[in-house]
Amino acid sequence: MARRITSTLVEVALALKEHTTGITFMLGRDKTRFVSYRDLFRQAKRWLAALQRQGLNPGQPLLIQSRDNEQIVTAFWASLLGGIIPVLLAVGTTGEQRRRLAKVYQILGTPTYLTQRAIRDALCTASLELARDASGHLPGQTLLFEELHLDDEEPRLYCAKAQDIALIQFSSGSTTTPKGWC
């Protein structure tokens, strides 16, 4: 029997959704956490349902920043399963990294931003080149990992096509404005 070749990342996730193999996250020098693909798929579906309740739809970019690699991976797969376009950016503390974030915001318009409370608070007090509203918040919708309401509601899975944008990866922008690559 010939093995079917997957053409989208969603098909990869669906093919692995019952596997007990998985990912080991490095939490420190001697600490790890193993998450099976089955558990990752189930958690990603819960996160997708939460993102959909917040109004995210297929084709919309979701800017993701976290210091927790498991959160990043889960949000990435939740996005893919819903046709939401993940945009992963490293957390920056330097002025240059914050300027890069501001440029990415400008390029994407007003994306939904998923981050941790501490990162959001640091950005809102920093002198970013971002327009903020009267309350000092970043433009667009900001969601916090700590406040995502996760339940067992079934999300709407997106049937991805090979030509769909799976993710946007920005260049470092070290010599010019960051450029997004699909």
- The residue with greater pLDDT, 97 or 51, is 51
Instruction: Tell me how far apart the alpha carbons of residues 162 and 174 are, in angstroms, rounded to a whole number.
Output: 31
Q: DSSP 3-state assignment of 160?
A: coil
Q: What does DSSP say about strands 61-64 and 112-115: parallel, antiparallel, or unpaired?
A: parallel
Residue 4 neighbours by CB under 8 Å, 6+ apart? none
pLDDT at 41 over 80: yes
CATH for 9-181? 3.40.50.12780
Task: Give me the mean pLDDT over the 49-78 stretch.
Answer: 95
pLDDT at 123 over 80: no
Side chain identity at residue 88, one-letter code:
L
Side chain identity at residue 181, one-letter code:
W
The band of 181, judged by pLDDT with boundaries at 50, 70 and 90, is: low
pLDDT at 135 over 60: no
Vertex 57, ends 52 and 59: CA angle to 5°? 145
What's the distance, CA 8 to chain centroid? 17
Burial letters for 23-44: b for 16+ Cβ neighbours within 10 Å, e otherwise? Answer: eeeeeeeeeeeeeebeebbebb
**Whole-prediction pTM:** 0.84
The band of 130, judged by pLDDT with boundaries at 50, 70 and 90, is: low
- The residue with greater pLDDT, 134 or 30, is 30
Taking the domains of the chain in order of start, what are their residue ranges? 9-181
